[in-house]
Amino acid sequence: MSSLQIFGVPGLPEIVEGTDLGAAVLSAAQAAGTPIESGDVVVVTSKIVSKAEGRTVELNDVDPSPFAREWSERWEKDPAVTEIVLREAKRIVRQLGPVLITETHHGFVCANSGVDQSSSGAHGRAVLLPVDSDASARGIRTTFLAAGVDAAVIISDTFGRAWREGQTDIAIGVAGIDPIYSYIGQVDPHGHEFKVQAICTADELAGAAELVKGNVSRVPVAVIRGFAFEVDDTATIAPVLRDQSRDLFR
């Protein structure tokens, strides 16, 4: 019977631009007595990836457009943050009252282009999503591989959803693991062939990791041990991003 174990990696240093995240995770996990092992899935919160990659913006350096200024004034938002949100967006999906749902340049549909002001390490700074979270994940995985550890990596973020209250952690980048597991063509115990079912296991893994990471306790990395998957070094998050032509809600 398959069994999963999920634990956080405590004791990471404060992450600053240039921090080698892969090395930091390996070393903190080792120090905690739970070294990363081959076959593990390591889930890393995007916020520390962004910090390590310098994806932060000083709000003072931002010159908001008239549109950003007017809307922000009306809804008591910081116009510099609004400007950054708009710059990170390919398209505004919904704008109603103070809510701004955008499609980012990556193709993620989320509130405020994923721009975060809550824990930027200082007032006056916003944290943006990584430029390419698949590349970020690959970088961390490469460091693991160099240390002899064949572990997959998922970069996660906390997104809202349509129809349901409460946010969940989902995957925005992967390395070494396909984000979707398809049952199509397989047969259930009653002999019915699955015609449509494909599970976004990457999102389920990211959500599972959140259950131990939390957001207050400052454990931005979790390890999932015992999840069976085939290593795939060509994997990216792209198959998860529904094309607009197939999307009934965009």
Rule CB under 8 A: which of 149-188 touch a copy of itself? 158, 161-170, 179-180, 183, 186-188
Q: How far is the CB of 147 from a copy of itself (least distance, A)?
A: 22
Q: How far is the CB of 75 from a copy of itself (least distance, A)?
A: 13
221 lies in the binding site for a copy of itself (CB under 8 A): no
- Of the ranges 54-62, 63-71, 126-134, 234-242, which one interacts with a copy of itself (CB under 8 A)? 234-242
19 lies in the binding site for a copy of itself (CB under 8 A): no
Give the angle subtended at the CA of 64 by the CAs of 59 and 68, to the nearest 5°. 115
User: Toward a copy of itself, which CB reaches closer, 144 or 159?
Assistant: 159
**Cα dist. 129→11, 17, 133, 189, 237 in Å?**
23, 14, 8, 42, 14
Q: How far is the CB of 191 from a copy of itself (least distance, A)?
A: 9
Instruction: List 125's β-bridge partners, or say none.
Output: 58
Phi, psi of 102 (to 5 degrees): -125, 165
Q: Which of 12, 153, 205, 235 binds a copy of itself (CB under 8 A)?
A: 205
Footprint (CB under 8 A) of a copy of itself, residues 54-113: 94, 96, 99, 101, 108-109
Q: Which of 40, 53, 134, 203 binds a copy of itself (CB under 8 A)?
A: 203
230 lies in the binding site for a copy of itself (CB under 8 A): no
Q: Which of 135, 145, 147, 212 binds a copy of itself (CB under 8 A)?
A: 212
User: Toward a copy of itself, which CB reaches closer, 20 or 188?
Assistant: 188
245 lies in the binding site for a copy of itself (CB under 8 A): no
6 lies in the binding site for a copy of itself (CB under 8 A): yes
Taking Cα atoms as reference points, which of 37, 28, 38 lies closest to residue 8?
A: 28
Is residue 202 within a helix (H) or strand (E), and if so which, with residue range?
helix 201-213
234 lies in the binding site for a copy of itself (CB under 8 A): no
Pairing mode of beta strands 89-96, 99-104: antiparallel
Give the angle subtended at the CA of 196 by the CAs of 190 and 197, to the nearest 5°. 75
Q: Which of 2, 60, 234, 245 binds a copy of itself (CB under 8 A)?
A: 2
Q: Is 120 helix (H, G, I), strand (E, B) or coil?
A: coil
* Tokens read off for 213: 């990471």
44 lies in the binding site for a copy of itself (CB under 8 A): no
Q: Which of 189, 230, 234, 245 binds a copy of itself (CB under 8 A)?
A: 189
User: Toward a copy of itself, which CB reaches closer, 131 or 199?
Assistant: 199
Q: Which of 4, 92, 146, 184 binds a copy of itself (CB under 8 A)?
A: 4
Phi, psi of 152 (to 5 degrees): -85, 160
* Tokens read off for 187: 């047969």
* Tokens read off for 179: 């984000």
* Tokens read off for 232: 């795939």
Residue 67's contacts (CB-CB under 8 Å, 6 or more residues apart) are: 86
* Tokens read off for 242: 């529904």
